[in-house]
Amino acid sequence: MDTNQQVSDAYPPTEIARKVEKIGVTKARLDTLSVLVLSVLAGAFISLGALFYAVVVTDTSLGFGVTRLLGGVSFSLGLILVVVAGAELFTGNNLIAMAWASGLIRTRDVLRSWLLTYIGNAVGCVGTVVLVAWSGIDTLANDAVGRTVVDIARSKSGLSMSEAFARGILCNVLVCLAVWLAIGARSVTDKIMAILFPVTAFVVMGFEHSVANWFFLPYGFFLDSQGLVSLSGALQNLLLVSAGNIVGGTLLVSGVYWIAYLRRERI
C-alpha cells in the first residue's frame, strides 16, 4: 500500500528540478527539423487555445471575472496539447536555462533552441490564422467573434512598453510553473490539472504570452477594417512581451529553482 501511494504521488520538487535539467539537455540536442516541426505544432496548439478563448468570451453576460475565468480555462487547451500531445513551445523552453546553469549545455545551444522554437511557433500561429480566416470563424454570433478578436488585438497593441514587458514577465512565470508542475505529475489527468490553474490565472489577470500574441495580433490586424489595431504597437508588443517572457521563465523560475535545488550539486 505504501509503495502504491508513493508511485501515485507527484515527484518532489528536487526530483522535478533534475528532470527539468535532463529534459533541457535533450531539447538542446534535438535535430533542427524535429524542433521546427514540433514548434509549428506548438504554435498551432496555442492558437487553437486562443481561438477557443475568443469564442467563449464573446457576448457573455456573466460579468468580467467569471467570463475571463471561463476564457482562461478554455485557453488552457493550448498548453495541455503542447505538454500531453508533445510539441516545442518557446515560452516553456525557457526552462532549459537550468541545464545551461549546470554547465550541461552551451549558450549557443540555448540560443539555437529559443530561436528555432520561436520561429516555428510564429509560423504555426500565422498558419493557423490563415486557416481560421479561411474558415470564417469570425462570422460566428453575427460577426461578434471577429469583433472580439479585433478588440483583443487593439488592447494588446495599445499597451505601453512597461506594461507589455511586465505582463510578459508575469505570464511566463505562470506558464513555466505550469510546465514545472506537469513534469512533476505522473498521469495525464494530473498533468492537465497541473496546467489548468496557472494558465487560467495568467489569462484572467491579463498577462501577455508572446506565442498567443502571434495569433491574436495578426488575426486581429487582418479582421480590422477601421484601423483600430496599430501595426507599430503590435510589433512593439511582440518584442517586449517576448523579452519579458524570457526574463520570467529563465530568471524567476529556472534561476530560482536552480539556486534552490541544483546549485550545490554542481559546485
Judge whether 2 lies within some domain. Answer: no
93 and 117 in contact (C-beta within 8 Å)? yes
32-57 and 210-223 are packed helices; what angle lies between their axes, rounded to 10 degrees?
Answer: 60
Q: Residue 265's pLDDT band (boundaries 50, 70, 90)?
A: confident
Q: What is the pLDDT of residue 4?
A: 47
Q: Residue 9's pLDDT band (boundaries 50, 70, 90)?
A: confident
Judge whether 4 lies within some domain. Answer: no
Q: Residue 60's pLDDT band (boundaries 50, 70, 90)?
A: confident
Judge whether 217 lies within some domain. Answer: yes
Q: Residue 7's pLDDT band (boundaries 50, 70, 90)?
A: low
Q: Residue 1's pLDDT band (boundaries 50, 70, 90)?
A: very low
Does 104 have pLDDT greater than 90? yes
Residue with cell 471577429: 146
Ordered alpha helix ranges (H), 136-160: 140-157
Judge whether 94 lies within some domain. Answer: yes
Judge whether 5 lies within some domain. Answer: no
Q: Which of 163, 216, 211 is nearest to 57 (CA)?
A: 216
Average of per-residue pLDDT across 231-252: 97
Total number of domains constituting the chain:
1
Residues in contact with 197: Cβ distance below 8 Å, sequence separation at least 6, in sequence order: 178
21-43: per-residue pLDDT in tens? 999 999 999 999 999 999 999 99
Ordered alpha helix ranges (H), the chain: 2-8, 13-28, 32-57, 64-75, 77-80, 97-101, 107-135, 140-157, 161-184, 188-204, 210-223, 231-246, 256-257, 263-266
N-to-C CA span, the chain: 38
Judge whether 118 lies within some domain. Answer: yes
Phi, psi of 155, deg, nearest 5: -65, -45
Q: Residue 105's pLDDT band (boundaries 50, 70, 90)?
A: very high
Q: Which of 207, 3, 28 is nearest to 116 (CA)?
A: 28
Does 6 have pLDDT greater than 70? no
CA distance 87 to 84: 8
Q: What is the pLDDT of residue 61?
A: 86
pTM (2 decimals)? 0.94
In the chain, the amino acid numbered 73 is V
124-138: per-residue pLDDT in tens? 999 999 999 999 999
User: Which CATH number is 82's domain given?
Assistant: 1.20.1080.10
Q: Residue 266's pLDDT band (boundaries 50, 70, 90)?
A: low
CA distance 105 to 91: 18
35 and 88 in contact (C-beta within 8 Å)? yes
44 and 129 in contact (C-beta within 8 Å)? no
| Mean of all residue pLDDT scores within the chain | 95
196-222: per-residue pLDDT in tens? 999 999 999 999 999 999 999 999 999
Q: Residue 267's pLDDT band (boundaries 50, 70, 90)?
A: low
Percent residues over pLDDT 90 in the chain: 93
Judge whether 3 lies within some domain. Answer: no
Phi, psi of 106, deg, nearest 5: -90, 165
State the residue range of the domain holding 243. 12-266
Residues in the chain: 267
